[in-house]
Amino acid sequence: MDESTEITAEQAYLAHARGALDRMRQDVLDTETPEFVSGTDEVWFNTMYRIARAQRGRDLVDLPDVPLFFGRLDYDPGTVFEDSSGGEDRVYVGRRHVRDNDGTPLVVDWRAPVSMPFYRATPKDRLSVVRRRRYGFAEGALLTAYEDEILGSGASGPGALLAAEIERPRSGPMRDIVATIQPEQDELVRAPLQPSICVQGAPGTGKTAVGLHRLAYLLYAEPQRLGAGVLVVGPNRSFLSYIRHVLPALGEVSVGQKTIDELIDRTVSAVDTPNALLVKGDARMAEVLRRALWSHVSLPGEDLVYVHGSTRYRVGQGRMAQIVSEMQSVRYAAGRDGAAQRIAGLVVMQMERRGATPDDREVAAVARSKPVKGVLDAAWPKLTPEQVLFRLLSDADFLASCAADLLDEQEQAAVRWAKPARSVKSARWSAADTVLLDELAGLIDRVPSLSYLMVDEAQDLSPMQCRALGRRCGNGSLTVLGDIAQGTSPWAAGDWPSLLAHLGKPDAEVAVLDRGFRVPAAIIEYAARLLPAIAPGLGVPTSVRRTAGALEVLPVSAGELASAVVDAGKARLATEGSVGVIAADSDIAALHAAVTAAGLDTALVGVDEDALESARLVCVPAGLAKGLEFDSVIVVEPARIVAAEERGLQRLYVALTRAVSSLQVLHAEPLPAGL
Ligand SMILES: Nc1ncnc2c1ncn2[C@@H]1O[C@H](COP(=O)(O)OP(=O)(O)OP(=O)(O)O)[C@@H](O)[C@H]1O
């Protein structure tokens, strides 16, 4: 078959598959179900069923811009279909299953085992595949081209379509990469649920993309093991808004995406000093809090006397002391309840000895009775996290007694409130305090475990934040993504093993991605000049992009900086793709105003949640650049980005590695050493 006949045939197949998808949808919508007419349960069932059917109907909508399949595998005859006699065994790979009326699969979900060789087959290990075909599409998902890679005899390598797809200019938010997942990425995407995994990867190596596709894969492959919930945690709202379309595009619409502060979910109304922040995020605080909480438990001071009718029952102080000691191995609240139950049990035993026949309700009633409550309120008081932390941060002696050998005098002074609030109720908590409250809440009560948690930009988490996440995934599986060289928080991790230990997953497998799909070689090599200073152990990432990538470093006078940014922005807007202007947090508003005044259509990241979708040119405070990418990037005044914070060099490294095609560095001050 010549090429145009082949394309016509493939177009016809696509149309056939589209028709079949439409019929699948119609079948779902037309399904008649018996409607119950009475009883709340039945009406509830009707409603649930209708919701599920509407959802399934939406799932089956054919999106006009999204091709129904993106690849094809021709297998050795007989590999997939038994009756493929004569012809080749053929599988079309797409975003979801499509079957025709008699159940024959027309398109197979990319996550199905039979699709895996699309990502992994090589001429050396062809996994029974003889040919891998990729398609090119024009506007409106119109199939216009294809390209074959022969894996059997006479092998030929991948052609230009794959490279073109990977190098397509960027615009707007992140999109899925199902058509071009690379073998080393696919191994992580399809890695089993256990053990947990951790991916260290240089900028643009696809960590976020891999994490999201892995989640979509697991939802498909292991739904029954994810029943307790799945969650994505990212560094800030701008980042979450950048990635929010990827999972829905992969058919997964119900995955929660939160920042760590949203997950902790407590009101923040105070700000810490840098020193306080450092100490409060430190893992030693876990032990300080544990001691602070349990220091409230003491041995009962006198016997318990329980009066029932005309009989007085007595439980000795020594026996109760033994119980209180023994119950301290469980959580605080459960320990208190357990102690009450056991003390009540001793009372009830005495009742039995006197011939009564008390049942479980009697034990519960005694456990709740005033005398037993009285003993426990003294020996094992009910506490809220706020009460404990309030005491710790406002009472110097109490803090010293809990932290003496853990925090030195200066560290204790740093966390103590200079002017404590009058009461717990009026206390104002900082973001770091809320993490400590969360730790205390976890010591007091059990936290239910999610089935699966994906944590992005994990290098920036404090040990105490890691513990908060680990607590919520105690029995579940974690996927941890990050780059040690991009650590900008005061606690940024120096290595993965310690961070994984704080997350409660010391056995997680650490994998490294080092092929960069975003940043052209010239730009990554320029940014990598900072690596010896910020992450000496890490190698320089490679770039898979063939395009040269324009790097321009332009000195300008201080007075002309804003107009230089406007000019550069205008020039970039004349080409294809998104444009990001990145500057120090304190400079970005003025630049945004200058760009707006010059009549360019722009939005400010961090202020407008839809910034990345609403304008092609966006202004980005360096503090929010992490995880984002733009076709063209203009980095303004690197020295000020560096000077703005302790880990300013790391912040600059992040800013310099956001570009897909071109990077312009504009500076009036001298460039930081290294550049
Ligand atoms: N296999 C692939 N095919 C096509 N594009 C890819 C592939 N892998 C990654 N990309 C693209 O490369 C870019 C970088 O990916 P991603 O943001 O996931 O990287 P990252 O490692 O999280 O980067 P950073 O550390 O800077 O946050 C994205 O545009 C992503 O779509």
pLDDT in tens, 240-289: 988 988 888 888 878 999 999 999 999 999 999 999 999 999 999 999 99
User: What ipTM does the predicted assembly reach?
Assistant: 0.99
> Ligand 1 in contact with 388 (CB < 6 A)?
no
In the chain the first and final C-alpha atoms are separated, in Å, by 55
Cα 380 to Cα 335: distance, rounded to the nearest angstrom:
9
Cα 605 to Cα 37: distance, rounded to the nearest angstrom:
52
Which of 205, 546, 652, 663 to mutate to test ligand 1, by most ligand atoms within 8 A of the CB atom?
205
Q: How far away, in angstroms, is 291 Cα from ligand 1 center?
A: 44
Q: How far away, in angstroms, is 205 Cα from ligand 1 center?
A: 5
Tell me which of 435 and 137 has the higher pLDDT: 435
DSSP state of 277: H
Spatial contact of 472 and 447, defined as CB atoms under 8 Å apart: yes
Read off the tokens for 603: 């939005």
Nearest-atom number in ligand 1 for the CA of 180 is 3
Q: How far away, in angstroms, is 258 Cα from ligand 1 center?
A: 20
> Ligand 1 in contact with 134 (CB < 6 A)?
no
Determine which residue's CA is closest to atom 4 belonging to ligand 1. 166
Q: What is the predicted pLDDT for the residue at 96?
A: 87
Q: How far away, in angstroms, is 629 Cα from ligand 1 center?
A: 9
H-assigned helices in 314-462: 317-326, 332-353, 360-368, 370-379, 385-394, 396-403, 409-415, 431-444
Q: How far away, in angstroms, is 519 Cα from ligand 1 center?
A: 9
Q: How far away, in angstroms, is 413 Cα from ligand 1 center?
A: 44
207 is in an annotated binding site: yes
Q: What angle do CA 309, 314, 315 make, to 5 degrees?
A: 135
73-76 CB contacts, 8 Å cutoff, 24+ apart: 73/114, 73/115, 73/117, 73/118, 73/121, 73/129, 73/131, 73/132, 73/133, 74/129, 74/130, 74/131, 74/132, 74/133, 75/128, 75/129, 75/130, 76/128, 76/129, 76/130
Q: What is the predicted pLDDT for the residue at 43?
A: 73
Spatial contact of 476 and 451, defined as CB atoms under 8 Å apart: yes
DSSP state of 293: H
Q: How many helices (H) and strands (E) does the chain have?
A: 28, 22
Nearest-atom number in ligand 1 for the CA of 627 is 27
Read off the tokens for 525: 């090599």
> Ligand 1 in contact with 460 (CB < 6 A)?
no
Q: What angle do CA 368, 373, 374 make, to 5 degrees?
A: 150
pLDDT at residue 347 is higher than 90 = yes
Nearest-atom number in ligand 1 for the CA of 516 is 12
Q: What is the predicted pLDDT for the residue at 165?
A: 77
Q: How far away, in angstroms, is 577 Cα from ligand 1 center?
A: 16
Q: How far is CA 394 from the centre of its chain?
A: 35
Cα 464 to Cα 278: distance, rounded to the nearest angstrom:
11
Which DSSP string corresponds to 134-157?
A: EEEEEGGGEEEEEEEEE-STT---
For residue 25, report the phi and psi dihedrals to the nearest 5 degrees: -65, -45
Cα 91 to Cα 457: distance, rounded to the nearest angstrom:
37
Q: What pLDDT digit, counting tens, does each position of 18-61 carry?
A: 999 989 888 877 776 666 666 667 777 777 777 777 777 777 77
> Ligand 1 in contact with 517 (CB < 6 A)?
yes
pLDDT at residue 589 is higher than 70 = yes
Q: How far away, in angstroms, is 528 Cα from ligand 1 center?
A: 18
Read off the tokens for 130: 């003889």
Q: What is the predicted pLDDT for the residue at 266?
A: 96
Cα 313 to Cα 353: distance, rounded to the nearest angstrom:
11
201 is in an annotated binding site: yes
Q: What is the largest CA-CA distance in the chain?
A: 104
Nearest-atom number in ligand 1 for the CA of 626 is 27
Q: What is the predicted pLDDT for the residue at 102?
A: 86
203 is in an annotated binding site: yes
Nearest-atom number in ligand 1 for the CA of 481 is 22
Q: What is the predicted pLDDT for the residue at 39?
A: 64
Which DSSP string corresponds to 299-335?
A: --SS-EEEEETTEEEEE-HHHHHHHHHHGGGS-HHHH
644 is in an annotated binding site: no
Q: What is the predicted pLDDT for the residue at 37?
A: 65
Closest CA to 287 of 417, 438, 402, 435: 402
User: 433 by DSSP, 3-state: which?
Assistant: helix
Q: What pLDDT digit, counting tens, does each position of 274-327 carry?
A: 999 999 999 999 999 999 999 999 999 899 999 988 899 999 999 999 999 999
> Ligand 1 in contact with 203 (CB < 6 A)?
yes
pLDDT at residue 532 is higher than 60 = yes
Spatial contact of 234 and 456, defined as CB atoms under 8 Å apart: yes
Q: What is the predicted pLDDT for the residue at 103?
A: 86
Which of 176, 177, 210 to mutate to test ligand 1, by most ligand atoms within 8 A of the CB atom?
177
> Ligand 1 in contact with 206 (CB < 6 A)?
yes
Cα 159 to Cα 136: distance, rounded to the nearest angstrom:
12
Q: What is the predicted pLDDT for the residue at 36?
A: 65
pLDDT at residue 647 is higher than 80 = yes
575 is in an annotated binding site: no
Q: What pLDDT digit, counting tens, does each position of 439-493 carry?
A: 999 999 999 999 999 999 999 999 999 999 999 999 999 999 999 999 999 988 8
> Ligand 1 in contact with 633 (CB < 6 A)?
no
> Ligand 1 in contact with 131 (CB < 6 A)?
no
Determine which residue's CA is closest to atom 30 belonging to ligand 1. 206
Q: How far away, in angstroms, is 481 Cα from ligand 1 center?
A: 12
Cα 456 to Cα 212: distance, rounded to the nearest angstrom:
10
The share of the chain scoring above pLDDT 90, in percent, equals: 69
Determine which residue's CA is closest to atom 18 belonging to ligand 1. 206
> Other C-beta atoms within 10 Å of 16: how many?
13
511 is in an annotated binding site: no
- Beta bridge pairs of residue 579: 617, 632
Spatial contact of 155 and 123, defined as CB atoms under 8 Å apart: yes
The mean of the pLDDT values for the chain is 90
Q: What pLDDT digit, counting tens, does each position of 176-231 carry?
A: 899 999 999 999 999 999 999 999 999 999 999 999 999 999 999 999 999 999 99
Cα 471 to Cα 466: distance, rounded to the nearest angstrom:
8
Instruction: For residue 541, name the pLDDT band (cuts at 50, 70, 90).
Output: confident
> Ligand 1 in contact with 177 (CB < 6 A)?
yes
316 is in an annotated binding site: no
Q: What is the predicted pLDDT for the residue at 167?
A: 75
Determine which residue's CA is closest to atom 1 belonging to ligand 1. 181
> Ligand 1 in contact with 465 (CB < 6 A)?
no
Residues in the chain: 675
Instruction: For residue 401, name the pLDDT band (cuts at 50, 70, 90).
Output: very high
Q: How far away, in angstroms, is 174 Cα from ligand 1 center?
A: 9
Q: What pLDDT digit, counting tens, does each position of 493-516 carry?
A: 889 999 999 999 999 999 999 898
DSSP state of 365: H
pLDDT at residue 398 is higher than 90 = yes
Which of these ranges, 345-359, 375-389, 577-591, 592-606, has the smallest mean pLDDT? 345-359
> Ligand 1 in contact with 549 (CB < 6 A)?
no
Read off the tokens for 665: 């560095």
Q: How far away, in angstroms, is 547 Cα from ligand 1 center?
A: 16
Element (H, E) at 469: helix 463-471
Strands of the 477-482 sheet, one edge to the other: 256-259, 230-234, 452-455, 477-482, 197-201, 509-513
pLDDT at residue 344 is higher than 60 = yes
> Ligand 1 in contact with 180 (CB < 6 A)?
yes
> Ligand 1 in contact with 204 (CB < 6 A)?
yes
183 is in an annotated binding site: no
Determine which residue's CA is closest to atom 29 belonging to ligand 1. 518
Cα 417 to Cα 336: distance, rounded to the nearest angstrom:
30
> Ligand 1 in contact with 182 (CB < 6 A)?
yes
Cα 566 to Cα 561: distance, rounded to the nearest angstrom:
9
